[in-house]
Structure formats: structure tokens, C-alpha cells
């Protein structure tokens, strides 16, 4: 693992949450399921995985969107992300 100082697990989680909040309209809830320190080639990253709940209300169902975001451990920059297929849930 890295010899130089890296951001904390909590800082990586906050960076991922802010990234999603900026990009997802009508975001209702974020659930972080796992944060893991790993490396991609020579870049050390935190893999942040969870589910974003979008929309919902009295007449509409909410949508859950699983996600994975890679946060650079050196500076907290987002280096990659993916979302999976959308699934519908009851209110």
C-alpha cells in the first residue's frame, strides 16, 4: 500500500456522496454498503459501493440505483464510477 499520506475512509465516503448528490436529480437517500481500499495499476483508490434511492412520493414509486465510485486515496478526486440497472421498489 502507499508510503505517503492518504485521505481517510470517511473522507472518501463524503467525496462519493457529494459526487452523487451533484449528478442525481431528486435524490432521496444514499446508502453506503461498503468502502474498500484497493489499487488500480499504480493508483490507490477507495471503492465506495451502495445504493441511491431516487424519487418516490405519494403516487410514484422510488427507484433504487446501485453504484460503485472510485475515489483517489491521494486527493479525494473521483477517478471512476458506474451505476447498475435501475430497479423499482415500493414506497
Q: What pLDDT was estimated at residue 57?
A: 67
List residues bridging with 62 in a β-sheet.
Answer: 55, 89
CA–CA distance, 7 with 68 (Å, rounded to integer): 18
**Residue 1, pLDDT above cutoff 60:** no
- Has this prediction a pTM greater than 0.85? no
Domains for the chain: give ranges and CATH numbers: 9-89 (3.10.450)
Per-residue pLDDT of 28-56, as tens digits, reads 899 999 999 999 888 999 999 999 998 87
CA–CA distance, 40 with 81 (Å, rounded to integer): 13
- Closest C-alpha to 81, from 73, 71, 27, 36: 71
Amino acid at each position: 500500500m502507499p508510503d505517503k499520506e492518504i485521505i481517510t475512509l470517511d473522507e472518501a465516503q463524503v467525496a462519493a456522496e457529494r459526487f452523487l448528490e451533484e449528478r442525481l436529480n431528486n435524490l432521496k437517500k444514499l446508502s453506503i454498503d461498503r468502502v474498500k481500499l484497493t489499487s488500480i495499476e499504480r493508483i490507490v483508490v477507495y471503492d465506495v459501493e451502495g445504493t441511491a434511492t431516487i424519487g418516490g412520493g405519494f403516487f410514484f414509486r422510488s427507484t433504487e440505483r446501485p453504484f460503485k465510485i472510485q475515489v483517489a486515496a491521494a486527493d479525494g478526486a473521483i477517478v471512476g464510477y458506474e451505476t447498475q440497472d435501475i430497479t423499482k421498489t415500493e414506497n
